[in-house]
Amino acid sequence: MSLKPEIAARLKRNQDGLVCAVAQQHGTGEVLMVAWMDDEALDRTLATRKATYFSRSRQQYWVKGETSGHTQYVHEVRLDCDGDTILLTVDQTGAACHTGDHTCFDAQVLLASESVPA
């Protein structure tokens, strides 16, 4: 596989050759998780519609749900205006977080909206 040159040219990678990837639930917009992609992971995702990421700790590719069954079917992939973040709109099956939570953002609220007086 090889990422199309016109897509690769738009990516702004970090020093490790990676781009931040945000997975968002299709239909609701709920942010599920953040991971990393390189050109190969993005190309695999575009070709298969299976969210494929690059694990920085294991230094290898992983298809979301390959071992857990908590898969992500990719509906849409977008690149932000700076080329340094990829947005995946997905159908999440099971938990998105490795902790078993629905999203990686379930654990702690740092600031909640205030109720506005009428």
Q: Model confidence over 39-58: pLDDT tens digits?
A: 999 999 999 999 999 999 99
What CATH fold (topology level) applies to the domain 1-68?
A: Ubiquitin-like (UB roll) (3.10.20)
Q: Is the pTM of this model over 0.75?
A: yes
Helix (H, G, I), strand (E, B) or coil at 100: coil
Handedness of CA 112, 105, 45, 58 (dihedral sign): positive
Strand order through the sheet with 19-25: 31-37, 19-25, 85-92, 72-79
Phi/psi of residue 32, each to 5°?
-95, -45
Q: Model confidence over 55-104: pLDDT tens digits?
A: 999 999 999 999 999 999 999 999 999 999 999 999 999 999 999 999 99
